[in-house]
Structure 1
Amino acid sequence: MSLRFLPPAGAPRVLAAAQLANSIGDGAFYVCSALYFTRVVGLSATQIGLGLTLAWAVGSVAGVPLGALADRRGPRGTAVLFALATSASVASFLFIRSFVPFLVAVCLYATAQCGLAAARQALLAGLVERSARTGALAHLQSTLNAGLAVGAALGGLALHEGTRRAYLAVFALDAVAFLLCAAVLLRLPAVAPVPTRTGGEPLFAVVRDRPYATLTVLNAVLLLRMPLLSLGIPLWIVERTEAPSWLVSALFILNTLGVMLFQVRTAQAVTDLGTASRAVWRSSLIMLVSCGVFALTAAEMPVWAVAVVLVAAAVLQLVAEMLQSAGSWQISFDLAPAHQVGQYQGFFGTGVPVARTLGPLLLTTLLVAWGVAGWLLLGALFLAAGLATGPVVRWAERDHARRGGPVTAAAESPSR
C-alpha cells in the first residue's frame, strides 16, 4: 500500500492498526456466522433474525450511557474494556448450542460493539486536533474496508471447507482479533476523563439536545444505504432482474475497494459545518439518481446492459456513501460539546443499529414488493433527509450559541 493511503503517524496510525485488527476478524465473522448458527447450531433463520434485531436494539439504547462512561472514566480504558468484552462475547459463540444462550451472547456482542464505537470516537477526539478528525476518520474507514475484505476472504476459505472446525476457527480468529485490538489501543496515550455534568446539566444531556437528536434521526435515514448494499440490492438483482447472481458479490467488492481507495480523498474537501452540510446534500441528490438508475434495470434489456446499468448505479451509490460519511463525521464531532464527546458519539452512532434493524423490513417492502415505485420513494426519502440536514445544522449552531457559544470553539485543543 502506498504511503499516501496510510494515516498520519501517531494516534491516527495506532487507531488504524486497532481498526485493522478487529475488522479482519469481523470480516470473517460476518461471512460465516449465519451459516454456522443454522447449519451447525441448528437455529432457524427466524430465531437468528429475532436475536439480531433484539441485540442491536439493546446496543442502540446502551450507546448513550456507555459513551457517557467513556467521558467519565476516560476513553482509552473504556475502549479497551469494550474490546475485551467483544472478544469474550465472540468466544462464547464457540459453546452455544441453543437459542437463549445465543440471544444473551449476541446482545452482549452488540452492546460491546456500540460501546467500543463510542469510546473509540471519544478517544480520537481526545488525541486528534478538531481540524484533522474527519481526515483521520476517512483513513479509519478505508482501513475498515481493507480489513473486512481480508477477513471475508478468510471466511470464504472456512465456507469452502464447510466443517464445524472451520467455522469455530473463524470465531476464534475474531475473538483473538479483538484481544489484539485491545492491546494496540493500550499503546495510545491516556486521555483524561472529563465531568459529564456541569451545574444543573442533566446526566444524559444529548437526549435533550433537540437539534442534535434530529440530526441523528436524519443520519439514520441516510444510513439506510447500509442494508441497501447488503440486502436490498442483492434481493433486487435476484428477484427483479435477469442479471447473474454473481453480480451481487462483484458490486460488494466494488464498494469495498472504492471506499478503501477514495474515501480519504473525498473527505479532504470537508473541513467545517458548511462544507459538511453541502457534502450531505450532494450525497442525497446522488442517491436519488442512483435509485433511479437501479430502477431502470427492471426494464426489458439484454443481460449485459442490465449489468452495465447496475455497475453505474453502484458507482453513484459509492460516491454518495463517501460524501455522506465525511459530512456526517464532521457534523457529529463539531456539534458535540468537548466534555461530552463520548455520549454524543454514542447517541449519533445509534443510527447504525437503527438502520440495520428497521432497514430490512422497509427495503424489502419498497424494492421487492413495490418495484420501481419503491426505488423512487426510497430516493426521495434520501433526498428529503439530505435537504433537511443543512437547516438543522444551522438550528444546532444557533442553539449552541444561545446556550453559551459554539461548541466547536471548546473542542479546538484535545487532551493529551
Structure 2
Amino acid sequence: MDLYTLHKAHVLTPWSAQAALNPPLIVRGEGAYLVDQEGKRYLDLTSGLVAVNLGHGHPRVVRAIQEQAQTLCYAPPSFFHDKRALLARRLSELSPWPEGARVFFTPSGTEANEDALKMVRTLTGRFKVLAAYRSFHGSTHGSSALTGENRRFAAEPAVPGALHFFAPYPYRSPFYTLDPKEEVARALDHLERVLLHEDPARVAAIFLEPVVGSNGVIVYPEGYLEGVRRIADRYGILLVFDEVMTGFGRTGAPFAAQRLGVLPDLITFAKGVTSAYVPLGGVLVREGLARRFDQEVLWAGHTYSGHPLAVAAGLAAVEAYLEEGLFERGRLLESWLKEGLGALWQKHPFIGEVRGLGAFFALELVKDRSTKEPLSPWHAPLSPAMQGLVRALLREGVYVMAKHNILIIAPPLTLKEAELEAGLAALDRALRGLEVEAG
C-alpha cells in the first residue's frame, strides 16, 4: 500500500468529510515552499495555517530542536527549566506592557484560550465572558464556547457563561452603515447594550482577535478596539487579545496590540512562537495581574506545559525574528501585498474586497460586486467554485488557505518579492480560469 492510500485509510483529517479529500502528500519544506512525495513544489502563501512565520526549515530553529533533543526531551512542568526561563523572559520583554508579563505555557492555542478563560474567572470572581460572533478561538470545549462560527456547533451544548456579540465588519456591516465611524459608534453601543442586559458586574472578560483571523482577516475600523478598552475599564472587565494568528510579526510588530496601540490585560499566543515547528502556546498575563497567583493557586496545567523541545524552538525562533528584523518586515510585505492584491482586484470582478494588515491579507470573493453575494456561503462547505479555485491553485503550485468565501494570503515573513510575484501571477491565472468557467 503506498503512503497516499495508507494516509487516506488510517488518518482522520480535521474539519473535513473524508471521502472527497485529495490533497498533496507533503514530505519536505524549504523556505517558502512545501514539497510533495513526487518532488512538486508548492509556494506556501498562507504560512501553513498562518503559523510558519519563519518559513520552512529555518536552520536556527532546526538546530535548537536537535540540540535540545540531545540534552533533555522532557521535564515535568512543576520543575524549573532553563529554556522555559529564557523564553519567558524574552516574551515578557516583547510584551506590550511597560510592567512586563509572566507566561503560562500550553501545548497549543486552543488550550491557551481555555486557560485564559479559567484565569479571568479566577482573577475577577465573575462567571460570564463575551466574544464576537465572527471569531475562532479553538476547538476544545471551552474555546469552542468562545468561538462565534460554525466550528463551535459540534461542541454544543457548550461550556456555560460564554456569550456573543456582533463586532464591526465594514464590508458586510451588521449595523447597516457604509460609514466606518458610524460602524464603530453603533458597534460600541451594541456591545454596551449586550453588557447591560447581561449585567456587566457578572462579566469577567471580553475575548477578541485584534484582527479577525480565519473568518475573514477583518481589520476593525479605527477607534473600535480603543472603545472596547474604555468599556472594559468602565465595568472592571478584563480584555483578552487572542493573538494566536496575529502574534510574532504577522502584523508588522511583535503583537498586534503594539501595531494597533491598544493594551489588553492578557494575550493568548501559539503558532508563530515556534514558527509552528513544535506545538507551543501560552498566555501572557501582565505583571499587575500575574502577581495575584503568588499567593493564590493557579488552577491550570498540562503534561506538556513548556515542553523542553517546544520552548527551545520558541527561544530560537524569537532570536531569529529579532536578529533578522522580521517583526518589522511585515510592514514591507504589507506594501507588496496591497499593491499586488489591489492589481488583482482591478482585474477580477469576483474579488469583492482586498483587506489586511502587515503580512496578513484576505480576498473576499463574490458572485457579484454590487450584491456582494458570497462565492461560497458562510457556515457551509466550500462551494464547487471555491473548491475548483483551490484545485487550480494547487495545479499552479501554490497553496492558499480557503475559508468560507475567503482566500487568506499570509506568507512567511521571509518571503522574497520575486516569490510573491510568482504566487500572485498564479493566483491571477486561477481566477481567470474561474471567470471563464463561470462565464
Q: TM-score, normalised by structure 1?
A: 0.31
| Structure in which a larger fraction of residues adopt helix | 1
Question: TM-score if structure 2 supplies the norm length?
Answer: 0.29
Q: Which structure dedicates a bigger proportion of its chain to strand?
A: 2
